[in-house]
Amino acid sequence: MNQSSDQAQLKFWGSGTARTLRPIWVAEELGVKYQLMPIGPRTGETQTPEYTELNPKQKIPFCEDGELRLSESLAICRYLINKYGNENTIQAASTFEQKAKEDEWLCFIFGELDETSLYVMRRHGALSKIYGEAPVAMEAAREYVLRQLKVVDQHMLGKRYILNECFGLSDIFLTTCLNWIEAYEIRMSDVLIEYRDRMILRDAYKTAMKINKPD
């Protein structure tokens, strides 16, 4: 539901990456109107004086909602669900226990899969001209991904979604990481392949993928 600026005060900066996909996908699931500013990483667009004034981190994704400014994909997605979610879309966790379990999985997915392993592979693979080649680090990161996938695989046996048979934010984060894993040709179990295949059939995902694709 990508809209022009006169229709939406909600604005996302950034496209073309797994991390920029997340808030776009959430917004599409919620049916929220927003404007996308499709700037990319390492293009110089995040380093302009205008963008740096908005986000001194010079990173994407970035979100503006009225006077609120937010960086970090997890913080943005959590905010969107808390403010705009309802029983017909993605709902925020309602109990302390549910919130704790959601946070547990989000921390695991972002920390162990995204940052600790997959982004290490990206740094020393596709971005090796910037960060340098490191074949030992690449292989160690690949093996680390496989160990963490065993944890996810065991948890997902007999489940449709990560938490309580209800689609939620942790599913969005896991799916974006599984996409990354598939692109790196890292083997996944049949359980995780079937799970990911169901997630990417969601209409909101399909729309978000098209919108997130850089021109």
Q: Which one, of 81, 13, 90, lies nearest residue 52 by Cα?
A: 13
The answer to whether residue 115 sits within a structural domain is yes
Domain count, the chain: 2
Among left, alpha and beta (phi > 0; psi -120 to 50; other), residue 196 is alpha
Per-residue pLDDT at 4? 47
* Same domain flag for 103 and 189: yes
Q: How many CB atoms lie within 10 A of CB 66?
A: 8
CATH number for position 166: 1.20.1050.10
pLDDT band at 93 (very low <50, low <70, confident <90, very high): confident
* Same domain flag for 21 and 61: yes
The answer to whether residue 40 sits within a structural domain is yes
The answer to whether residue 5 sits within a structural domain is no
- Domain containing 120: what range? 96-202
Helix ranges (H only) for 157-212 are: 169-183, 190-199, 203-212
* Same domain flag for 122 and 171: yes
Per-residue pLDDT at 126? 86
pLDDT in tens, 98-150: 999 999 999 999 999 999 999 899 889 888 988 899 999 999 999 999 999 99
* Same domain flag for 107 and 196: yes
The residue assigned the tokens 């604005």 is 11
* Same domain flag for 152 and 141: yes
* Same domain flag for 160 and 178: yes
Averaged pLDDT score across all residues of the chain: 93
pLDDT band at 201 (very low <50, low <70, confident <90, very high): very high
